[in-house]
Amino acid sequence: METVDQVRQAGVSSYIRRSVRMTVGQQRVWETNWPQLGRKLEELPAGEVDLAGWFGREAPVVLEIGSGMGEGTSQLARQAPEVNHLAAEVYPAGLGQLMLWVEKYELDNVRLLHGDALDFLRDHVRPDTLAGVRVFFPDPWPKKRHHKRRLITAPFVKLLATRLQPGGRLHLATDWQDYADDMLSICAAEPLLTNEYEGWAPRPDWRPVTKFESRAHAEGRHCRDLMFTKSAT
Ligand SMILES: C[S@@+](CC[C@H](N)C(=O)[O-])C[C@H]1O[C@@H](n2cnc3c(N)ncnc32)[C@H](O)[C@@H]1O
């Protein structure tokens, strides 16, 4: 099987570079709140990041990859104040928007990582660390020639699985059925993971509806959730 290093060497990225233009509000929170809440991947010191030091407390850490505009992330953080929520995103305006939600709801359990989650996990997260990893509506890259850019691949799932703590959960959601089918077979083939359900997980009420899910429903596409647990050994 290909490794994440080979994925990197091939120069394949799972995202589109978008404009860095931010609203006045996003710019303001970037200046005032980023130093406490955020870290840029390229500025992290080599080695494992001190998650408890970053959050200012010891608590289970759930990593959300591709937090987008952050409204869903902020709702999840409000629902579970006992959990440390780490949002990884390459799109700065999205992180700025998430900081606005964090400010509005006075959340103290959200931290933000600007950069590619693959590099972050590989280089800065100790194995057996995370209580959960969530990837909701990753970019679908629907054209066949772009499938290699999809975030969820066998080497990436292996990397995710190593970073989960035993009993930790990988939760994926997508509205693209062929991507969902691939996710299911990739995760089912990963020896460190066990499906919590037979096939798809029921849609959990607590997962916020974001614009991607609303649009999928409007366009007649079904959304799939997948929940896998890291084995105890
Ligand atoms: C389709 S959006 C979904 C956003 C959000 N999860 C939601 O449901 O509203 C996917 C997001 O993943 C981000 N993304 C893609 N690859 C990434 C990576 N390797 N690391 C961090 N973020 C990534 C993109 O910038 C984009 O904002």
From the CA of 173, give the closest atom in ligand 1: 8
Q: What is the pLDDT of residues 110-128, one digit of tens each?
A: 999 999 999 999 999 999 9
C-alpha distance from residue 147 to each of 15, 94, 160, 194, 213 (Å):
12, 24, 19, 25, 21
Alpha carbons 45 and 52: distance in angstroms, whole number: 16
Answer yes or no: is the C-beta of 76 below 6 A from any ligand 1 atom: no
Amino acid at the residue 41: L
> Cα dihedral sign for 28, 59, 232, 5?
positive
> Which are the catalytic amino acids?
139
Q: State the DSSP string of 76-89.
A: HHHH-TTSEEEEEE
Distance 142 CA to ligand 1 centre (A): 15
How deeply is 73 buried, as exposed, middle or buried, from its count of CB atoms within 10 A (0-12, 13-18, 19+)? Answer: buried
| Cβ atoms 34, 109 nearer than 8 A | no
For the chain, give the percent of residues with pLDDT over 90.
89
In the block, residue with structure tokens 């390459």: 90
| Cβ atoms 114, 89 nearer than 8 A | yes
The pLDDT value given to residue 152:
97
Q: Of all protein residues, whose CA lies closest to atom 5 belonging to ligand 1? A: 68
The pLDDT value given to residue 4:
82
- Non-local (6+) Cβ contacts of 210 within 8 A are 68, 69, 71, 72, 136, 137
Answer yes or no: is the C-beta of 118 below 6 A from any ligand 1 atom: yes
Domain coordinates of the chain in residue numbers?
A: 4-12+25-44+60-230
Answer yes or no: is the C-beta of 14 below 6 A from any ligand 1 atom: yes
The pLDDT confidence band at residue 73, using thresholds 50, 70 and 90, is: very high
Q: What is the pLDDT of residues 184-211, one digit of tens each?
A: 999 999 999 999 999 999 999 999 999 9
Alpha carbons 132 and 160: distance in angstroms, whole number: 9
Q: What is the pLDDT of residues 46-59, one digit of tens each?
A: 999 999 999 999 99
Name the DSSP class of 41: G
The answer, yes or no, to whether residue 20 has pLDDT greater than 80, is: no
Please count the residues of the chain: 233
Residue 199 φ/ψ, nearest 5 degrees: 85, -130
The pLDDT confidence band at residue 9, using thresholds 50, 70 and 90, is: confident
| Cβ atoms 94, 65 nearer than 8 A | no
At the topology level of CATH, where does 4-12+25-44+60-230 sit? Rossmann fold (3.40.50)
Supply angle C-alpha 75, 210, 36, rounded to 5: 45
Mean pLDDT of 144-150: 92
